[in-house]
Amino acid sequence: MKKLKTYRHLFFDLDHTLWDFEKNSEETLYHLYDHFNLAQLGSFSRDSFYKKYSFVNQRLWDLYHKGKITQQQLRENRFVKCLTGLGMSANDVPAGISKAFTDICPTKTAVFPFTHEVLGYLKEKYVLHIITNGFKDVQYIKLKSANLDSYFSEVITSECINCTKPDKRIFQHALQRAGVTAQESLMIGDSLEADVLGAMNAGIDQVFFNPEKKRPRLKPTYEVHCLSELKTFL
């Protein structure tokens, strides 16, 4: 893969790109299933709990990205909707389960293959940053717990500017924070809408991280199926 231009700054998404959100969430939810004795409160398995939570959480995040619910509403509602959707009475939803998830999940350390190797390589050649829609209080814990924090100069969260990817304002804010132009920058992320289209609209080249090898409906500047491929053209 041929590099088209010289970049100075690389901007990474965090969840689903570096930090393995699915694996870390699954591990946390299995723990909560046992800790809160959910098997005794409802007739559903750990796998059903994980799948239902993932479904509900994704849809609430979509609403949050569209500005239709707040951070507090997302956190308060996802376990209630998940567990009542599995047949549990709202009165039986364990108090503290949402806080336990928020406390535990960010401390998990699973990252995608070659994450540290690739970041170590890239840090020698570029200035690295994070642009994330995740909440500030948990994203910093994730970075520190997974030993990712030392690679990045700036960590821009949606809370910094009160807008989320793909809104081009968060990318413009990131460029301003880093003191760099769009032409010298590259965005790397797993979401076609949030990362690829968002960066595209801000005039920034993009790398679509596509480990599942889905057929993209947009044409990003680059596409990789494994983070190790970044070393072939950066």
| Residue spans per domain, the chain | 9-20+111-232, 22-107
pLDDT at 25 (0 to 100): 96
Task: Give the residue from 229, 155, 160, 216 showing the smallest Cα distance to 190.
Answer: 216
| CATH superfamily of the domain spanning 22-107 | Putative phosphatase; domain 2 (1.10.150.240)
Q: What is the Cα–Cα distance from 40 to 138, expressed in whole angstroms?
A: 30
C-alpha dist (Å) from residue 89 to 49, 72, 83, 192: 15, 22, 8, 37
pLDDT at 3 (0 to 100): 56
Q: What is the Cα–Cα distance from 122 to 127, expressed in whole angstroms?
A: 8
pLDDT at 212 (0 to 100): 95
pLDDT at 66 (0 to 100): 82
* Model confidence, pTM: 0.93
Q: What is the Cα–Cα distance from 79 to 92, expressed in whole angstroms?
A: 11
Residue in this structure with the two tokens 């559903």, named with its chain if needed: 44
pLDDT along the chain (234 residues), means of 10: 78 98 96 94 92 96 87 92 94 94 97 98 98 91 98 93 91 96 97 96 97 92 97 95
| CATH superfamily of the domain spanning 9-20+111-232 | HAD superfamily/HAD-like (3.40.50.1000)
Same fold? 9-20+111-232, 22-107: no
Tokens describing residue 225? 């199926």
